[in-house]
Copies of this chain bind each other. A is one copy, B any other.
Amino acid sequence: MKRIFLRVAYDGTDFVGWQIQNEGRTVEGELNKAINALTGETIEVIGASRTDSGVHAKGNVAVFDTESTVPADRFMYALNSLLPEDISVVESREVAPDFHPRHCSSIKTYEYRIFVSRINDPLKRRYAYRFPTELNVERMDEAAKYLIGEHDFKSFCCVRTQAETTVRKIYSADVFHDGDDIVIRVSGAGFLYNMVRIIAGSLMEVGSGKKDPVHIKEVLDGTDRTLAGPTAEPQGLTLFNIEFADEQ
């Protein structure tokens, strides 16, 4: 028996999310299907992050245990030949039998991508959010800096959360231009449900001039969801990477 670690990229457009549900196509479901077809075993992967419907990933992580004789680093190629084209395994290797992607300490990095345009852009719409008027990136970046550190992020959390605590630690939060797009990049030790999308919605209120940068600090201090901006649409969000402090 060995535990296999997979790093997984996917286009979230045509999934109802990571987690298996009663109806709809899921990333977890497609991975299980490919692994079971390859190994002949009945395997259910354990995912690091249960991304929502429409959210993309360049580097989500899943693990599973198998008796298969396929070498760990070959799982990537074998699974890619079985997976649909909107999912790809970008890395596979063996990890310690007790490695658990949700219980091990990690740094997750998310990117929220925005393009400013009065009209729809058919070639960007799947992977970025369209904001209709100018955004001031410097103001957004200034506001984002208030998020860094350990805070109670209750204001930036979906009210129906089941999390025991709403305290989280953010290592970095940057807003910058990437070509014609604007990117919000946030790294942290963990995120609450919808947290990055509520951060993005709140930073857009600052960028458009509706709020001042210091407003983000006031929202944090208020620990009240109604103070923050709207939950930004999912297609702008990509789980960029997960780094584990101790993967073996």
Contacts and interface: CB of A to CB of B under 8 A. Distances in A.
A122 B80 contact: no
Contacts of A125: 11, 85-86
A191 interface: no
The oligomer's copy count stands at 2
A80 B238 contact: no
15 contacts: A9-B121, A9-B123, A11-B125, A56-B123, A58-B123, A77-B119, A85-B122, A86-B122, A87-B122, A88-B121, A88-B122, A123-B127, A123-B238, A126-B126, A179-B179
Interface in A1-55: 9-11
Contacts of A120: 80, 85, 88
A225 B90 CA distance: 37
A9 B86 CA distance: 23
Interface of A: 9-11, 56, 58, 76-77, 80, 85-90, 119-123, 125-127, 179, 238
Interface centre among A80, A87, A88, A127 (most CB of B within 10 A): A88
Sorted nearest first, the 6 A-B pairs with minimum C-beta distance are: A11-B122, A88-B120, A86-B122, A10-B122, A88-B122, A9-B122
A24 to B, nearest CB: 18
A96 to B, nearest CB: 25
A77 B117 CA distance: 13
Contacts of A58: 123
Contacts of A86: 122, 125
Nearest to A80: B119
